Structure 1
């Protein structure tokens, strides 16, 4: 890598949170725009290139209905499910974008991460609160996309 910054998507409004799938081949990016409260999905190539922009989840109707919060922070579990902040709390989405769970909260949740001794506790920040919830799954190990040898160096 030569230190050049590369524009991946110049059309996404209020890009905010991001997360990678456990294999590093999918990049998720949240948009904290109340007019277009979405999470986009991008393919990450073996060389680190990013392509294939697709809509992964759309929470605009919840934002317009006045539910607190917007897409912001997110994390991934050991099965590749995305735990994403959204209007009304946390939404749990399968790797194909199917809604499989939710954690409702009356304050905007801005961030989420798995931790604790066994990796099964979901920690969340919400306005003036720090929250923790024991789950039945572990967070996925943090992974960077697989890049050519030597290119992950700062």
Structure 2
């Protein structure tokens, strides 16, 4: 290949652009220092049953920062790295366990939100605005569109995604990515409902759940006989619903498993091998009905303090809160990773955090 001055300048410009992105990320950082004492007080035991999952000499670490809204972590054991979305910056980031680097993996990324690794080690992604589709990144880097419409109408804004052991892909389709200009572009939804979809390996797309208002995070129980789904705009609070999964891929027996407090927000989550739900948690933005005087102003304050709510809430299979991992930022999503599958990665507002635990992801 012949190298030209124009090519060198173009390459230098691309390198500078990536450096500017990561440099901007560093500039947005705020001081974070891991706790120096063991056990880390950020890991709170709400029920004695959670004690077995805490590693006494493990502490919360900040691995990277500078994102505007971090989402969709997915771990790839073959390469020892994690990918996550930075939605407003329209990019996917990569954390490499081998050297600790935190770099741009893809930009632009079509406002990617949820990501997952399929059973063949490929990246599947929810592009939740503009393109509004689910894609798969092949081993050669090419991108295959798996779904972008249902019954002749465009999807709303694919959000979170999980791959079942039979290679079916399940994803939620709320309207978040088309509600405004922050995480993409405002658009009119074409679907009459906000659904949970099941996509078979042969390309058949089915709406398996149509009666949840803006479904968000989803995950299967360890035996895959139950599907759990967050209802983002539940009444009166955000909830996690449990469904029985039938052999034909349909679901039934809708049961409310978890009801968030009136100030809490349930988001993305994962299930461990014991069936516990590790859920991204934080303030839902609800305001007190009456204002309080702050200085010389009357201000409607949040119900509950974000500093008390931000982190990961752990529920047992019966929906009882048993543990809490306090973070300095609201956690939107998480996944298990690491060489032994016991490193909890948490995408939290501007940053990526991690904590080693005595738990392993179910899938």
Per the normalisation by structure 1, the TM-score is 0.78
Separation of aligned partners in 2, 1:51 and 1:11: 12
Q: 2:244 is matched with which residue: 33, 39, 43?
A: 43
Residue of structure 2 equivalent to 1:100: 322
Q: 1:4 to 1:118 in 2, by over 3 A?
A: closer
Aligned residues: 135
The equivalent residue for 1:136 is 358
Deviation at 1:126, TM superposition (A): 0.6
1:61-76 aligned at under 5 Å gives the runs 61-63=262-264, 70-76=265-271
The structure where helix makes up a greater share of residues is 2
Unaligned runs of 5+ in 1: 64-69, 143-154
**Greater relative CO (CA pairs within 8 A, separation 6+):** 1
For residue 61 of structure 1, give the secondary structure of its aligned residue in structure 2. Answer: coil
Residue 117 (structure 1) aligned with residue 339 (structure 2): yes
Secondary structure in 2 matching 1:39: strand
Q: What secondary structure does 2:266 align onto? A: coil
CA contact (8 A) 1:73 1:112 kept: yes
Alignment match, 1:19 = 219
1:6 matched to 2:206: yes
List per-residue Cα deviations over 1:90-124 (Å, max 9, x = no partner): 11111121221111234221111000011111000
- Which secondary structure state, in structure 2, belongs to the residue aligned with residue 109 of structure 1? coil
CA gap of 1:73–1:99, structure 2 versus 1, over 3 A, is same
Residue 281 (structure 2) aligns with = 86
What's the RMSD between the two structures over aligned residues? Answer: 1.9
Runs of 4+ in 1 over 4 A off after TM superposition: 1-4
C-alpha deviation, 1:4, in angstroms: 4.8
Q: How far apart in 1 are the matches of 2:247 and 2:207?
A: 18
SS at the partner of 2:207? coil
Does the Cα contact within 8 Å between 1:38 and 1:60 map onto a contact in 2? no
What CA distance in whole angstroms lies between the structure 2 residues aligned with 1:37 and 1:80?
21
Aligned counterparts of 1:105 and 1:13: Cα–Cα separation in 2:
28
Per-residue deviation at 1:3? 5.0
Give ranges in structure 2 of 5+ residues lacking alignment: 1-199, 283-308
Matched residues in 1 for 2:269 and 2:238: separation? 14
Equivalent of 1:30 in 203, 210, 230: 230
Q: Which residue of 1 aligns with 2:72?
A: none
